Structure formats: C-alpha cells, structure tokens
C-alpha cells in the first residue's frame, strides 16, 4: 500500500503545482489497466500498477461538469 499511496500523493502534488502555474488538471482512474488487453497495450509487467492518468492543459472559462454515476 505504501508505494500505491506514494504514487497517488505524487500525482496530487503534480496537479497542485500545475494548478499554481495556471493550468487545469484532471485525474482519471481506469479499469483497463487491470485487464489483460489494457495491460498489454500499456506494456505493464505483472508487478506494475497504474494509479490513474493525470491530464494537464490550459483552458478558458469554467470547466464543464460531466455526467457522474450515482
């Protein structure tokens, strides 16, 4: 768990730093990095895990809300 949580904290700090520089950020967790086909596409070895993907970019105006599951 320690390595998993360390990765999440690194992602959070990356997002905070990018926000401080005026960029928008979004972290998306995923299901496909835990299925065989997705793991092969990403080139993951059996012991590697993906916490999520951090998206960083510029934007104008407020970020649009997206539909979320209940």
pLDDT string in tens for the chain (70-residue length): 788 899 999 999 999 999 999 999 999 887 777 888 888 998 999 888 888 899 999 988 887 788 888 7
Domain boundaries, the chain: 2-57
Please state, in angstroms and rounded to a whole number, the distance separating the CA atoms of residues 43 and 47.
12
Rg over alpha carbons for the chain, rounded to the nearest Å, is 15
What is the model's pTM?
0.73
65 phi and psi angles, rounded to 5 deg: -75, 145
* CA angle (16, 55, 66) in 5-degree steps: 100
**Tokens at 28, concatenated:** 């998306």
Residues in the chain, total:
70
Please state, in angstroms and rounded to a whole number, the distance separating the CA atoms of residues 53 and 45.
18
């Amino acid at each position: 768990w320690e390595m998993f949580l360390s990765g999440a904290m690194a992602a959070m700090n990356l997002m905070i730093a990018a926000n401080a520089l005026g960029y928008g950020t979004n972290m998306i967790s995923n299901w496909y990095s835990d299925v065989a086909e997705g793991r092969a596409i990403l080139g993951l070895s059996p012991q590697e895990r993906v916490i999520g993907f951090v998206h960083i970019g510029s934007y104008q105006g407020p970020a649009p809300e997206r539909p979320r599951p209940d």
